[in-house]
Structure 1
Amino acid sequence: MKGSWIFLIYTGLVCASSLYHDQASSPLLLVLASLGYALTHIRSVHTFIPAQLAVQLSLLVALHAASLSDWCIPLYLLHMCKLFYGTAPFRYAVSANAALMLAYAIISMAARPFNWSTLIEVVFTAGTCLLLAFMFRKYIYDIEQQKQLLTKEKKHLSTHDSLTGLYNFQEFHKQMEQLVKQKEPIILVLIDCKDLKSLNTTNGFQGVNKILRQAAELLRIMFPDALLVCRYGGDEFAIVLRSDDMQETVNAVTQLLASEFPKLTGIEINFGMACYSRDGVTKDDLIVVAEHGLYMMKRESWLKREEHMLRSEKLRVVGELASGMAHEIRNPLTTIKGFLQLSKAGDYNIEPWYELIMDEINRMSMLTAEFLQFSKPHVTQYKIQSIQGCIYRVLSLLDSETTRLGHQVRFEHDDRDIQMLMDQDKMLQLLLNLVKNAFEAMPEQGMVRIRLFAAGPDAVIEISDTGKGIPESELDKIFIPFYTTKDSGTGLGLSICHKIVQDHEGTIEVESVPDEGTKFTITLPTSGTNDLIEPYESSTCTTISV
Structure 2
Amino acid sequence: MSINIIKLWCVPVISVLIIISSMILDKSTNVLFMVIAALLLNISVSLDRKYTWLKHIQFIFLGAFHYSSHFNWSVLLYNMMIINLIEHKVRLRDSIPIALMFICQYSLIRLSYVPMTNYNIFVSLFDMITSLVTVLFFHVIIRSESEKRRLKEKNEYLTNYDTLTGFNNYSGYIKKVQQNIELNRAFQFVLFDISNVAAKNFEDILVSFSHTLKEYFPNHLGACRYAGDSFGIMLSATEKIDVLQIFENLGIKVTSSITHFPQEGSNFQQLIHTGEERILEMKQGNRLKRQEEQLRSDKMKMVGELAAGMAHEIRNPLTSIQGFIQLSKKSGYNIEPWYDVIMSEITRVGELTVEFLQFSKPHASHMKVEMMAKCMAKVYSLCESEATSCGHTIEMDALDRDIMLLMDRDKIIQVLINLIRNAFQAMERAGHVHFALSREGEMAVIQVRDNGKGIPMSEIDKIFDPFYTTKEEGTGLGLSLCQKIIEDHNGYISVESEVGSGTVFTVKLPTTAGCS
TM > 0.5 fold call:
yes
The residue correspondences of 1:249-264 to structure 2 (distance < 5 A) are: 252-253=240-241, 256-257=242-243, 259-264=244-249
Counterpart for residue 43 of structure 1: none
1:132-180: per-residue Cα shift (whole Å, max 9, x none)? 9877544322348995995897465654433333333332122112222
Q: In the alignment, which of 353, 359, 365 is matched to residue 350 of structure 2?
A: 365
Q: Does 1:232 align with 2:226?
A: yes
Asked if structure 1 preserves the Cα contact closer than 8 Å seen for 2:47 and 2:54, the reply is no
Counterpart for residue 86 of structure 2: 139
Counterpart for residue 218 of structure 1: 212
* Structure 2 CA distance for partners of 1:84 and 1:313, relative to 1, 3 Å: farther
Q: CA deviation at 1:415?
A: 7.0
Secondary structure of 2:429's partner?
coil
Asked if structure 2 preserves the Cα contact closer than 8 Å seen for 1:462 and 1:522, the reply is yes
The residue correspondences of 1:271-420 to structure 2 (distance < 5 A) are: 271-414=256-399, 416-420=401-405
Asked if structure 2 preserves the Cα contact closer than 8 Å seen for 1:61 and 1:104, the reply is no
* Structure 2 CA distance for partners of 1:284 and 1:296, relative to 1, 3 Å: same
Q: Does 1:58 align with 2:16?
A: yes
| Distance in 2 of aligned mates of 1:379 and 1:103 | 115
TM-score computed with the length of structure 2 as normaliser: 0.75
* Structure 2 CA distance for partners of 1:142 and 1:168, relative to 1, 3 Å: farther
Secondary structure of 2:454's partner?
coil
Compute the RMSD of aligned alpha carbons: 3.7
* Structure 2 CA distance for partners of 1:275 and 1:87, relative to 1, 3 Å: farther
Which structure 2 residue ranges, 5 or more long, are not aligned?
Answer: 29-36, 91-141
Equivalent residue letter for 1:142: K
| Distance in 1 of aligned mates of 2:276 and 2:514 | 48
Q: In the alignment, which of 446, 455, 460 is matched to residue 431 of structure 2?
A: 446
Which structure 1 residue ranges, 5 or more long, are not aligned?
Answer: 4-46, 70-75, 112-125, 531-546
Asked if structure 2 preserves the Cα contact closer than 8 Å seen for 1:464 and 1:520, the reply is yes
| Distance in 1 of aligned mates of 2:153 and 2:442 | 68
Asked if structure 1 preserves the Cα contact closer than 8 Å seen for 2:395 and 2:433, the reply is yes
Equivalent residue letter for 2:311: A
| Distance in 2 of aligned mates of 1:87 and 1:324 | 95
Q: In the alignment, which of 459, 465, 471 is matched to residue 486 of structure 1?
A: 471
Counterpart for residue 407 of structure 2: 422
| Distance in 2 of aligned mates of 1:150 and 1:529 | 66
Asked if structure 2 preserves the Cα contact closer than 8 Å seen for 1:166 and 1:229, the reply is yes
Q: In the alignment, which of 480, 499, 505 is matched to residue 514 of structure 1?
A: 499
Equivalent residue letter for 2:253: E
Secondary structure of 1:281's partner?
coil
* Structure 2 CA distance for partners of 1:181 and 1:457, relative to 1, 3 Å: same
* Structure 2 CA distance for partners of 1:232 and 1:2, relative to 1, 3 Å: closer
Q: In the alignment, which of 498, 503, 511 is matched to residue 526 of structure 1?
A: 511
Q: Does 1:183 align with 2:184?
A: yes
| Distance in 1 of aligned mates of 2:49 and 2:246 | 54
Counterpart for residue 268 of structure 1: 253
Asked if structure 1 preserves the Cα contact closer than 8 Å seen for 2:496 and 2:503, the reply is yes
Secondary structure of 2:472's partner?
coil
Secondary structure of 1:448's partner?
strand
Secondary structure of 2:418's partner?
helix
| Distance in 1 of aligned mates of 2:221 and 2:214 | 11
1:288-338: per-residue Cα shift (whole Å, max 9, x none)? 111111111111121222222222211221222122112211211222222
Counterpart for residue 135 of structure 2: none
| Distance in 1 of aligned mates of 2:513 and 2:160 | 64
| Distance in 1 of aligned mates of 2:225 and 2:445 | 56
* Structure 2 CA distance for partners of 1:264 and 1:512, relative to 1, 3 Å: closer
Counterpart for residue 108 of structure 2: none
| Distance in 2 of aligned mates of 1:93 and 1:59 | 23
| Distance in 2 of aligned mates of 1:240 and 1:161 | 16
* Structure 2 CA distance for partners of 1:158 and 1:85, relative to 1, 3 Å: farther
* Structure 2 CA distance for partners of 1:382 and 1:211, relative to 1, 3 Å: closer
1:19-61: per-residue Cα shift (whole Å, max 9, x none)? xxxxxxxxxxxxxxxxxxxxxxxxxxxx9xx976323113235
Q: CA deviation at 1:410?
A: 0.8
The residue correspondences of 1:71-86 to structure 2 (distance < 5 A) are: none
